Amino acid sequence: MITGQNLIAGQWSAQGKETFSSINPRTKEQSEGWFVNATSEEVDLAVTRAAEAFKTTRLYSAERLAAFLDTVADEIEKLGAVLIETADAETGLGKPRLEGERGRTTGQMRLFGKLLREGSYVEAIIDTAQQDRKPAPRPSIRRMLVPLGPVGVFGAGNFPLAFSVAGGDTASAFAAGCPVIVKAHPGHPGTSELVARAIRAAVEQCDFPLGFFSMLQGSTTEVGQALVAHPLLEAVGFTGSLAGGRALFDAAAGRPRPIPVFAEMGSVNPVVITPNAVKARGEAIAEGLATAVTLGSGQFCTNPGLIFVFDDPESQSLIAQVGELMDRRRPGVLLNQATQDHLFKTVGETLEHPSVSKRTLVDDINAGGYCYPNTVLQTTSEAFIADESLQREHFGPVTLFVVCSSFDALCQAIDALKGNLTATVHAEADDLDMAGNLFSLLREKAGRLIWNGYPTGVEVVHAMQHGGPYPATTAPQTTSVGLTAVKRFMRPVAFQNIPDALLPDALKDANPLTIWRIVDDELTRKPIST
């Protein structure tokens, strides 16, 4: 039942002449169906209808938005096995992984619904009037968050469900009350259409304006650039490469009226391992690292791509162990030809560095599909500090050990780091002073700090921070995972001396929503006595 068309405000559309197809990464075979690239006219219509829908949905109650999110989750689940089978054929990620990802996708929709029903996400702050204040009276000032408007969301290649058409960016934008126009990833267009059908069904069931959701197919950059350039678009959510995210960021900044781009673009996720940790549990750490680096063929933005150790016999043994474990593991399937080509290019260039050596032996992968051998590289802290190219993200089953001659050398290497999503320290109880110093340095380089763990695996909870300093993201003060992600697509508005009858419910004296508010410096759910 896949049409290969674009979904424009509830209607299927195929005005364009350029087409493309998906590729099975296990076999490199082209799918039977063809998908039509959206035209500039279709992009314009999608955003225009979204802007029209926003005139209505911007005033929808939290309960109405929450019911819609729940319905989207229900409709995705109704797709059943066909969704998993289609996603597996287009990405090669495996049915167990994709079933888990579907659960995360529907789960985060429902979690945002729960957030809306609680209501405090609008961050209501009230400073009541003080008529008797000298030398001048203080006016009544009340502040809350309101939705931004139409949001363009770019699907990620490595998460065809959880970071795609109905992924975290879409869920958080919907929760904010914003219409969404999704630019589907060309690596899994069939999966994208199926999920778009589910959202369309939810829009109709909940009697939302049809322009509240659209999906654009496209294998070229022109579709995405046209979306970002549209004058009625208010924000962009993106997960992908540094080059892609930066291109969108620059395009949005270059508009006559710039808009924010919340782009997650890549990370090497440094891991520091102290000598005591190596001595106490070196084998377990080696096993954990090998598993984390090869999980999903290394195609995670949280893949531990940099490992810092000290120059001692135990750490050299750890590197050898990780190399042996990686050699024993069968390389997994990569998403597509571009991912494979990128790995061969970037790893090849890294190995050209005179201070970089390879610690794995397997080169011949003998695979019929897209693949790359599990790879362990090694360099020195001096080389790492001197050459920032050694911080490049390889995006695959590859990690680079950086051997440090001293603690000072390690600190200098950390100081040379660019921004990352995560940073990890493996240490023992006797290392607390050292670990404290390391975390103090790493805090300036990453959005999530981890103790004796591995960065892969991101929980969808209130406290999660999935973001970090550039180039990990373009907006390090925000997160793309977790319930505070909704705030990316909202903006604060202050109401000064506005009559109570004209205020939003969240700011009225009686607090009819019974939400938590800050009233005259006190966090309370009580109404304001008049």
The predicted pLDDT at position 171 comes to 98
What's the CATH number where 306 sits?
3.40.309.10
Query: Does 502 map to a domain?
Result: no
What is the pLDDT confidence band of residue 515, given thresholds at 50, 70 and 90?
very high
Q: What angle do CA 127, 131, 137 make, to 5 degrees?
A: 85
Residues 6+ apart with CB under 8 A from 502: none
The predicted pLDDT at position 524 comes to 98
pLDDT (mean) for 440-466: 96
Residues 297 and 380 occupy one common structural domain? yes
Distance CA 486, CA 503 (A): 22
pLDDT at residue 168 greater than cutoff 80 = yes
Residues 332 and 388 occupy one common structural domain? yes
Residues 234 and 341 occupy one common structural domain? no
Mean pLDDT computed over every residue of the chain: 96
pLDDT at residue 367 greater than cutoff 80 = no
Residue count (the chain): 530
Whether residue 52 lies in the annotated active site: no
pLDDT at residue 32 greater than cutoff 90 = no
Residues 79 and 214 occupy one common structural domain? yes
pLDDT at residue 323 greater than cutoff 90 = yes
pLDDT digit string, tens, across residues 384-417: 999 999 999 999 999 999 999 999 999 999 999 9
Residues 250 and 359 occupy one common structural domain? no
Q: What is the DSSP string of 320-368?
A: HHHHHHHHHSPP---S-HHHHHHHHHHHHHHHTSTT-EE---------S
Residues 79 and 48 occupy one common structural domain? yes
Give the type of residue at 438.
L
Whether residue 264 lies in the annotated active site: yes
Query: Does 374 map to a domain?
Result: yes
What's the CATH number where 169 sits?
3.40.605.10
Full residue range of the structural domain in which residue 73 is found = 31-121+141-265+479-487
pLDDT (mean) for 29-39: 94
pLDDT at residue 364 greater than cutoff 80 = no
The answer to whether 125 touches 144, Cβ cutoff 8 Å, is yes
pLDDT at residue 530 greater than cutoff 80 = no
The predicted pLDDT at position 269 comes to 98
The predicted pLDDT at position 270 comes to 98
pLDDT digit string, tens, across residues 338-363: 999 999 999 999 999 999 999 999 88
The predicted pLDDT at position 363 comes to 84
DSSP bridge partners of 11: 8
Q: Which of the following is catalytic: 75, 101, 264, 393?
A: 264
The answer to whether 377 touches 356, Cβ cutoff 8 Å, is yes
Distance CA 237, CA 182 (A): 9
Query: Does 258 map to a domain?
Result: yes
**Share in percent of the chain as helix, strand, coil (round to 5):** 40, 20, 40
What is the pLDDT confidence band of residue 432, given thresholds at 50, 70 and 90?
very high
Query: Residue 372: which of 394, 391, 354, 392 has the closest Cα?
Result: 394
The predicted pLDDT at position 266 comes to 86
The predicted pLDDT at position 162 comes to 96
pLDDT (mean) for 288-299: 96
Residues 338 and 483 occupy one common structural domain? no
Query: Does 458 map to a domain?
Result: no
Query: Does 135 map to a domain?
Result: no
Both tokens assigned to 191: 């999966």
Residues 169 and 256 occupy one common structural domain? yes
Query: Does 216 map to a domain?
Result: yes
The predicted pLDDT at position 503 comes to 98
Q: Which of the following is catalytic: 301, 371, 393, 404?
A: 301
pLDDT (mean) for 241-254: 96
pLDDT at residue 100 greater than cutoff 80 = yes
pLDDT (mean) for 438-465: 96
Distance CA 124, CA 291 (A): 44
Structural domains of the chain, count? 2
Both tokens assigned to 158: 């490595």
Query: Does 17 map to a domain?
Result: no
Residues 248 and 348 occupy one common structural domain? no
Residues 241 and 299 occupy one common structural domain? no
DSSP bridge partners of 29: 24
**Confidence (pTM):** 0.96
pLDDT digit string, tens, across residues 106-153: 999 999 999 999 999 999 999 999 999 999 999 999 999 999 999 999
What is the pLDDT confidence band of residue 466, given thresholds at 50, 70 and 90?
very high
Residues 239 and 287 occupy one common structural domain? no
Residues 233 and 364 occupy one common structural domain? no
pLDDT at residue 40 greater than cutoff 80 = yes
Percent of the residues in the chain that have a pLDDT greater than 70, as a whole number: 100
Continuous segment of H or E residues that includes residue 369: none
The predicted pLDDT at position 457 comes to 87
The predicted pLDDT at position 202 comes to 98
pLDDT digit string, tens, across residues 65-96: 999 999 999 999 999 999 999 999 999 999 99
Query: Does 470 map to a domain?
Result: no
